[in-house]
């Protein structure tokens, strides 16, 4: 991935800034849109929101063969799709969790973590971690 891409997306990624469609209310993340990808309504003004980082897992997989990209994505790696409590269905990595203990419905929280290093640039992003209850 190019470094300008990382720079361009920095605020969304680090501060969990998202957008709520002024018409259908869907949470759009990442990226700002002038058109809602779900209902197609043109957004006259951007309705920025902060994501609530708490949510629960709706599905997961454990990759035992590494996917493409950085060596930091070594196996086993747990990938999840999560529904956040105040809206937003987010794809991400689940960390601090044993592969055999991940479950659908499990409570998780987004935390800022190191993702990988690119051309000497440390790239951070949010990863999901289990909430100890």
Q: Site residues (CB under 8 A) for other proteins?
A: 1, 6, 9, 13, 18, 26-31, 37-38, 58-70, 72-73, 77, 79, 81, 88-93, 99, 104, 115, 125
Smallest distance, other proteins to C-beta of residue 131, A: 20
Smallest distance, other proteins to C-beta of residue 67, A: 3
- Angstrom CA distances, 93 to 32, 100, 103, stand at 22, 15, 14
Q: Which helix (H) or strand (E) covers residue 94, if one does?
A: strand 89-94
Q: How many CB atoms lie within 10 A of CB 19?
A: 21
52 vs 125, beta carbon nearer other proteins: 125
Nearest Cα to 80, choosing from 111, 54, 102, 100?
102
- Angstrom CA distances, 84 to 54, 77, 108, stand at 6, 21, 9
Q: Are 11 and 24 in contact (CB under 8 A)?
A: no
105 vs 120, beta carbon nearer other proteins: 105
69 vs 131, beta carbon nearer other proteins: 69
Smallest distance, other proteins to C-beta of residue 120, A: 17
Helix and strand totals (H; E) in the chain: 2, 8
Smallest distance, other proteins to C-beta of residue 132, A: 23
14 vs 131, beta carbon nearer other proteins: 14
């Amino acid at each position: 991935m190019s470094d300008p891409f990382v720079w361009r997306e920095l605020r969304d990624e680090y501060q969990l800034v998202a957008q709520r469609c002024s018409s259908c209310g869907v949470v759009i993340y990442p990226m700002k849109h002038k058109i809602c990808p779900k209902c197609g309504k043109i957004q006259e003004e951007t309705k920025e929101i902060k994501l609530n980082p708490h949510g629960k897992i709706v599905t997961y997989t454990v990759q035992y063969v590494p996917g493409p990209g950085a060596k930091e994505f070594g196996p086993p790696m747990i990938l999840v799709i999560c529904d956040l409590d105040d809206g937003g269905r987010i794809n991400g990595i689940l960390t601090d969790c044993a592969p055999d203990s991940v479950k659908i419905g499990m409570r998780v929280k987004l935390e800022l973590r190191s993702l990988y290093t690119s051309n000497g640039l440390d790239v951070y992003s949010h990863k999901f971690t289990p909430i100890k209850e």
